[in-house]
Chains A and B, each alone.
Chain A
Amino acid sequence: MALRHFFKHLTILTSSYGFCTLSSRFIHPSLTTLFNNINPKTQPLIPTKFSLPLSHCYTSVSHPSTSTLLSPYLSVRIRCPKDIADVFSEALMCFGATSTTVDEDDNCDTSNEICIESIFPESEDVDVCISQAADSVGLKMIPSYEVKTGEHYDWIKKTQESFDPVEVTEGLWIVPEWKTPPDVKATNIILNPGLAFGTGEHPTTRLCLLLLQRLIKGGERFLDYGTGSGILAIAALKFGASFSVGIDIDPLAITSAHHNAALNDIGLENFQLRLVSSNTSSPSTDEHKDIQKQTSFEAVAESEHETYDVIVANILLNPLLELADDIVSHAMPGAGIGLSGILSEQVPCIIDRCSPLLDNISVSEIDDWACLSGTKKLTGN
């Protein structure tokens, strides 16, 4: 297939996009070694036409990904004539902007000009980029603009402000840390999601919470595979599980989950969090040496196959397909397993993958999202 030819010539193009891909669970394992820890500033110059074997890890950076996550960015406000705003923003994207935003103004009749707000990585030369973009669009003169250094604090704060208490189902509320629960007698889960996934508003989180309510009768051991903010692990304990473990490949998620457990007065005796590496799905202690703040977490070698009564994995289609065997291996025979984070159209694919592993497969849907639940087969692996 000719597309294999593309893969052989894959050079690192992330340098031209000016941002770092973090060790994301969504990247195919063989690519994580390539894109992990690549900081555009310390990257050596790549000669063109250099074809790279995929297993070669290119650079290694000593500090963890959080520092590049929060490196400052440049925010540029450009004024330009309204009729070419669209084309101009596309041109800006081609020449190095990482995003452009065009405000819809209510009083747009008064002036002919419109503001484009564009975000550039810190290392980018804004003047050159804007003049090139203006050139390609056909503007006679370079539009006026002003450059500010944006602080990440601002937008993080703004997104957090938009969280409200949300009622997932009767008697179950998810409340942000800084708001008071509307119904004090209901089961309230207090959350500060930080930069991890799981605020309770997303349909997949709801589907998983409803599934948990059905599966957890009391005293079960629960594994949250891909825990994000820890919401499912905490909910399981509130529903009556005896022991909850959350695992994730993102250190930020583990930090958030730890924080949320403390907010809900959950101690370490029945709640544990583990950071696992993204290449394999079992934790390994050597990977943790590079990550600084992990001393408080237990990096226990995972020898706990077949010990959980309920497992829920709310991630994405591709990781679910790859990790299906591993997820099911942690469950006791007959245990309840839930898989979510998939669109309704992706359900047949997951069913194909999991039917040799699970019995009693049923699918529940909210909006476009689906959750697959089943029980581990009693015989076999």
Chain B
Amino acid sequence: MSSGYSRTPAAGIKWAGFCRHFSSRAAVNDVIGNDLANTDSSLAFMEGKERLDPFSIVADELSLIATRLRSMVAAEVPNLASAAEYFFKIGAEGKRFRPTVLLLMATALNVRIPELPPAGVGDNLPTDLRTRQQRIAEITEMIHVASLLHDDVLDDADTRRGVGSLNAVMGNKLAVLAGDFLLSRACLTLASLKNTEVVTLIATVVENLVTGETMQLTTASTKRFSMEYYMQKTYNKTASLMSNSCKSVAILAGHSAEVAKLAFEYGKNLGLAFQLIDDVLDFTGTSASLGKGSLSDIRHGIITAPILFAMEEFPQLRAVVDKGFDNPANVDIALEYLGKSRGIERTKELAMKHANQAAAAIDSLPQSDDEDVMKSRLALVDLTQRAGRVGSGELGKRFEPIQKLSGQGKKPTRIIGACGDDGEAVRWNDHQIGHKLAKFAAAAGIFDGTLRLRLAQVDVDLRCRGAWAKVTDRR
């Protein structure tokens, strides 16, 4: 491979790493249809223009998993609100990040294991194995959504601030119960896999999620300013789920400890890269300039990597942070320091570093000539580039701007919650139930269309499309 990938050297190296698996350019060409002689098109490939869409490779399986998740929830979701009924419609799912990674990993690891029985008997095994690996994807989604719901539980002070404390209390019940329900289902599905090592890994994930969230609640100032503490918290809250579920996929397939570790490293670094870019986007939004993002982290007093880096350059920023960010003027001051610092750049660099480590893990997998295996590995590497970079790529925060729908001649409505495909609420006001439902629906990605609900004497519309949901208060 030439060294002419000067625009994105890191991407070029990853590409070159892959190419060594192929016997010739022509062979690569056959697989992915790219003309390698054309440097530009390769770069275009690596910058995410979809010649190879990781999500589409596994689209069928994703939709199978979504159907299974939906049928499970539809049968059991409790009728908590006083006269609400839930109608679940089948529709486009949108991009489901975690299951996509896991399914691609399952294929990417599909190196023939010598001890598999001969073809006749062996044919039965892989199907079971694939189903079991799909279960890991289901379990992962259930745990992810459960943790979002539990993270959302409000304390009494918060419930009193809401419009009508009854709503907030109901919101808490919904959050706790729905989360518990999902956790219990995850436990049962886990048990059905009959693999105690996997049970251990997934149990560790739950523990890490809780620990991470609790770390975030901790306000001891020394820890708040520590990058190391922050990265540990980030691992717990975001990367652990990815790392341990990737490893579980490997373990179910009976891979060696080394291969399992590579899967783990991929998931871990991918998760870290993803979160670091998330931190950046919270400041920059989809534009490159500061302050166009939603700034929800800093407004909640959550100190993320860019600010931590900025504090290293400008110690006086600590005093600003200590004052808290209830006062918008303080936010502006912090943003000013951030702009002067290399905080954003350094975070992006760190994200890229982790993205490359993830890609390197894939590169280190035992060689395979199988076309599906190669395709999946390419897709996994592609995901690292999407995750590790701020771009217009699909892994960035993707949501429509919140509009205030005031109708002339129409019934006025108020948007009361919305969130993107990562399950994070972009904005909400004081209707906490709407907020929770929006998160739940979007993160689970199980709706499409409009649900009309009555919750605690309030009519709400839950309008969902693809991977995000918007809750409107009908008055």
Chain B binds chain A: no
Interface residues of chain A, those whose CB is within 8 Å of chain B, are: none
